[in-house]
Amino acid sequence: MRYVIRQSLCKRLQVQEGPFAELLLLGSGSFSQPALDRPLAGTGAGPGGGAAARARAASSWAGPAMAAEPPGARGFYRQLPKVELHAHLNGSISSATMKKLMAQKPDLQVPHGMTMIDKGKRRSLEECFHMFQIIHQITNRTEDILMVMKDVVQEFAADGVKYLELRSTPRDEPTTGMTKRTYVEAVLEGVRQCKEDGLDIDVRFLLSVDRRGGQIAAKETVKLAEDFLLSTDGVVVGLDLSGNPSAGHGKDFLEPLLEAKKAGLKLALHLSEIPNQEEETRLLLGLPPDRIGHGTFLHSSSLASGDLVQLVRQNRTPLELCLTSNLKSQTVLSSDQHHFGFWYNLGHPIVLCTDDKGVFATDLSQEYQLLADTFRLSKVQIWEISYNAINCIFASSHTKTKLKEQWHQLKTSVLE
């Protein structure tokens, strides 16, 4: 199927005509013109005003200012032991791994800009989800999933991540014979091989429910997660609800999520990722979830949503916060406006995460540096954020204790 980005769409995306506009892919799907006419979150931009608003937003953020950092600053963030709890497998594929995948699929000609958003660039949230559809076409075999899993884990380990929870939606690919079950098995084989290789990282896995799949697919994923929960000795720890937040409604997933919770699966739910979802958020908070992904608009100034903050605070539900992701997908307009500041000032449990390190061209060390630069946090404060993240993991109390001991052993050398 040929993906054709017309000249008018190229202008709206602010890209040059050429390879990007003549992308050839095997499979199905297309870019949605109506999606690009929707107002950008937080900008009030709609038809006729979107280009100007996008230009203002793009010029307002060009990534963290690296030039002024003191000598050794980058080294501190790399040496800092870290916990990563919100990372989508297919969104975490690095450009190096993408090149390896593409070398095995010469018929697919995918420009760099279709799988990664470079520093200083932005896309709407809707466009980001189109990027994931393209990535899924590149990872359509179990051997692809195994390669991706191993590379992603190795890259997180190289970045100083000591505990990692990856998440992904199991997929059937009739053209290659990959099933949802063999998809998960490939992920778990990647975990096993990384452990066998002696990597200094503890890896767990959450099965994701894609909102676009509806209730039937959600129930299938829950059943699969229950099976692997009982057979993987603690590697499969929970369930994630994610995907395009505009698709479906939370009430459609309430029953399968309750079933998952009853079975002992932990729940990490993307909530309030876009504005005006108070009803859905209130419903899903009633489960309650064990962690919240993004929660970008939980603290809206709307009086009607004030109770959402109270519900989250009352349950001490940790938030998984992803700065670069929110900036590049334009749900937050500038780093200093990020909702980290709101929750941090309340002393609420928060975990800094990457979301999709490949797509957003970041890593967890860079996220910590951006956080420190934006909110003027000291090394000690950064250390405390990293250490407190251990309390939010889905693994056992024994694992938490081991990680805290590891942090204590490293503290003096990292902070000196």
What residues are annotated to the active site? 273
Query: What is the CB neighbour count within 10 angstroms for residue 241?
Result: 25
Q: Is 289 helix (H, G, I), strand (E, B) or coil?
A: coil
Distance CA 133, CA 31 (A): 10
Task: Tell me what percent of the chain is helix, strand and coil, each rounded to the nearest 5.
Answer: 50, 15, 35
Q: What residues have CB less than 8 Å from 6, skipping those under 6 apart?
A: 21
- 162 to 116, 154, 156, 319, 327: CA distances (angstroms): 25, 11, 8, 19, 26
Helix or strand (DSSP H, E) at 319: strand 319-321
18: alpha, beta or left? (left if phi > 0; alpha if psi -120 to 50): left
d(CA 289, CA 204): 18
Query: Packing angle between helix 180-196 and helix 142-158, nearest 10 degrees?
Result: 40
Sheet of 350-352, strands arranged across: 82-88, 161-168, 202-210, 236-242, 266-271, 291-294, 319-321, 350-352
Bond from prior residue into 256 cis (ω within 30 degrees of 0)? no
